Structure 1
Amino acid sequence: MNKKRMIENFLEMIKIHSPSNNERVYAEYLIKLLKELGGEIYLDEGYKNYGGNAPVIFAKFKGNLSGEGVTLAAHMDVIEPALGVNPIIENNIIKTDGTTTLGGDDKAGITSIIETLRTIKENNLNHRDIFVLLTPCEEAGMLGAKNIDWTSVPSNMKPATNMLVIDNAGRAGLIAHTAPSKYGITFTFNGKKAHAGIEPEKGINAVCMAAEAISNMKIGRIDEFTTSNIGSIKSTFPTNVVANHCVVTAELRGHFEEKILEMLNSYEKSCKNAAILFGGEYSIEKRHDYPALKPKDDLKFAKEFAKIYEDIDVQSELKIIGGGSDSNILAKEGFNSIIIGVGMYDVHTVNEYLVIDDLFKTTEAILKYITQ
């Protein structure tokens, strides 16, 4: 592999502005590059369903080694502020000047994929079938992955079941194999208006009703595998009016559906009791944002890749994580994903940085796995 070239490619890509819903320029750059590397291309236009402008990119590189192929997946969008990235290289680290995010999430993953393909091509290496899947709008609720029209994907372009998602924060060697299901929840409380200074006793305060309900909910770390959080409490009345409407947004994540349903039931009970206490009304809207990610092969794939890391003297670690990614969505289609670390830290902040050696080591592991 060519470390200098890999770094230059990363620096080139992070300067292409590609926020969620506006990745087209970057997608066109990648399509051209993948074609130059010999890839067969298919583009899914699911972005038309949600107002984006970039396709999901499918690419296939036919191999000459027997056995099941592998899919390399990453996402094209980055978290704002990301316009005008000014990268600084210092002591094996690439960072920004502190005014933007770096975009290592997930352009580091795409850099790794591109360098793997370039190394295979220029050295004419034998390899398994390689499928590349690059999605838009991952950071905005995995909209790219959610809107793929799988019925229209040509059979020869359907990615391999075993999928390396190169999108894990942290060092090379980290292998996430399990991630939670997530529900978005909206609690709506309705009371009764009244003048807060003249006759407050005639009103039913929806904000107080919401506060009563929330005070009886278990929020935060529920157990080892379950978390919840309140995101917003919204009521826009002047202080001289008893508020008759309040909306609370929350989320609930868990690795076991039974526990999630138990918590949802307990939250509804808290809302019901608060409504009875105040004499108001409530409603709950539940949205299943994505399913849980679980290994489909009793960790066989994860352990195989852990062995690859160990073979190149990188300590491996199998992990259960608390975040969601395209992997959760793709699991519904039968893909067996592991999410691997590529050396990005403090992602989603202007303090984001990338450790060059970690990027190089993960790329080395991917190359070894595909060509062995």
Structure 2
Amino acid sequence: MNKERLLNNFMEMLKIHSPSRKEGKYAEYLINLLKEMGASIYLDEGYLQYGGDSPSIIAKFPGDIEGEGVTLAAHMDVIEPNLNVQPVVEGNIIKTDGSTTLGGDDKGGVASIIEALRTIKEEKISHKDIYVVLTPCEEVGMLGAKYFNWDKVPEGMRPSKNMIVVDNAGAAGLIAHSAPSKYDIEVVFQGKKAHAGIEPEKGINAIAVASNALSRMNIGRIDDLTTSNISSISSQFPSNVVPDICKVAGEIRSHSEEKILDIIEYYKKACDEAVEKLGGTYKFDYQRDYPVLKPKDDLKFAKEFAKIYEELNIPSELKVIGGGSDSNIFAEQGFNSIIIGVGMNNVHTVEEYLVIDDLFKTTEAIIRYIKRNEK
């Protein structure tokens, strides 16, 4: 690979502002770049359903060898504040001046994919079909992946099911293969208003009911693969009014959706008991934000990529992670995903930085995997 070109391309991408729902300019840049590299392009218009301005991109580089190829994936949006990024190269890291996020999440992943493809083309490496999938709005609920209409994708543009998602935090060598499902929950407690100073006994304090219910719930780390969090409690009333409404919101994550549903039933029971004791009513709503990510091949794909890292003298580690990504959505759509990183650290903060050597290492690993996969 051309390390100087890779870094220059990464720096160029950092200058293109691409927050969630406003990735259009960056998408246009990438579409033109991929076309110049010889790719066939398909654009999915799922963004029309959620108010974005950028399509999801499928690029195909036809191979000269038959057989199942590979898909390389990343996302185009970045976490704000990210306008007018001022990158600073300091030894082996690239960071910002501290006023913005860097955007290495996930422009580092995109830059790595682009350089790997350029190298394969320039070295005239024989390969099976290579697909690239680039999504918008990953950072705000994986909307690009969720609203992707796969039924409309032409037969010849449907990506390989083995997918390498270049979007893992941490050093090169870390390979995530499993991630939890997440359910969002909201409980609205209904009490009864009364004057808090004159006749409070005639009221039912919705905050007190909510507090009683929460005290009965197991929140935080539930087991090795299950967590729960209450993130907001909302009830705004004057101090002289017994509040009759209190909204509680949070999430539950687990590698077992059955476990999540069991916890939801347990939480409902806690609400029942609180209402029975203090009065009032409640409404409990929940919905799945994203499904579980699990390997579909008993870790065969993940272990193959780990072997590539090891051949490059890069220590590898197969990981179960606690966060969600496009990979969770793609898994339900039939893809067998692994998530690898390019040295992104302190992501989603203005202290974000990227380790240059890790960017090089993972790019070389992708190139070597494609060479190996095509034999």
TM-score of the pair, normalised by structure 1: 0.99
Distance in 1 of aligned mates of 2:157 and 2:219: 44
Give 1:33-48 correspondences, 5 Å limit.
33-48=33-48
* 1:133 corresponds to: 133
Deviation, 1:65, is 2.9
Distance in 2 of aligned mates of 1:325 and 1:165: 9
* 2:275 corresponds to: 275
Distance in 2 of aligned mates of 1:274 and 1:38: 63
SS in 2 for 1:334: coil
Give 1:60-79 correspondences, 5 Å limit.
60-79=60-79
Deviation, 1:33, is 0.3
State the one-letter code of the partner of 2:283.
S
1:276-315 Cα offsets, whole Å, 9 max, x none, are 1111101110111111000000000000000000011101
The answer to whether structure 1 residue 183 and structure 2 residue 147 are counterparts is no
* 2:164 corresponds to: 164
Report the RMSD for the aligned CA atoms in angstroms: 0.8
Deviation, 1:232, is 0.6
1:49-78 Cα offsets, whole Å, 9 max, x none, are 001110000000011234320000000000
Deviation, 1:106, is 0.5
Distance in 1 of aligned mates of 2:13 and 2:99: 18
Distance in 2 of aligned mates of 1:77 and 1:208: 41
1:14-33 Cα offsets, whole Å, 9 max, x none, are 11100001100000000000
Runs of 4+ with deviation above 6 angstroms: none
State the one-letter code of the partner of 2:303.
K
1:121-165 Cα offsets, whole Å, 9 max, x none, are 222222221000000000010000000111100011111010000
SS in 2 for 1:124: coil
State the one-letter code of the partner of 1:111.
A
Distance in 2 of aligned mates of 1:78 and 1:304: 30
SS in 2 for 1:86: coil
Distance in 2 of aligned mates of 1:212 and 1:279: 11
Contact 1:128 1:371 in 2 (8 A): no
* 2:223 corresponds to: 223
Deviation, 1:345, is 0.4
* 1:261 corresponds to: 261
Deviation, 1:197, is 1.4
1:216-238 Cα offsets, whole Å, 9 max, x none, are 11111000010011111011111
SS in 1 for 2:209: helix
Deviation, 1:258, is 2.2
SS in 1 for 2:368: helix
The answer to whether structure 1 residue 321 and structure 2 residue 321 are counterparts is yes
Distance in 1 of aligned mates of 2:128 and 2:174: 23
* 1:341 corresponds to: 341
* 1:107 corresponds to: 107
State the one-letter code of the partner of 2:239.
T
Equivalent residues, number: 372
* 2:124 corresponds to: 124
Give 1:15-34 correspondences, 5 Å limit.
15-34=15-34
* 1:86 corresponds to: 86
State the one-letter code of the partner of 2:329.
I
SS in 2 for 1:342: strand
Deviation, 1:182, is 0.6
Q: Any gaps of 5 or more consecutive residues in structure 2?
A: none
The answer to whether structure 1 residue 212 and structure 2 residue 212 are counterparts is yes
Deviation, 1:2, is 0.9
State the one-letter code of the partner of 2:109.
G
Distance in 1 of aligned mates of 2:266 and 2:349: 34
What percentage of aligned pairs have identical amino acids? 67
Distance in 2 of aligned mates of 1:215 and 1:102: 40
TM-score of the pair, normalised by structure 2: 0.98
Distance in 2 of aligned mates of 1:160 and 1:113: 16
Distance in 2 of aligned mates of 1:352 and 1:181: 26
Distance in 1 of aligned mates of 2:354 and 2:157: 32
Q: Any gaps of 5 or more consecutive residues in structure 1?
A: none
Distance in 1 of aligned mates of 2:69 and 2:211: 53
The answer to whether structure 1 residue 350 and structure 2 residue 356 are counterparts is no
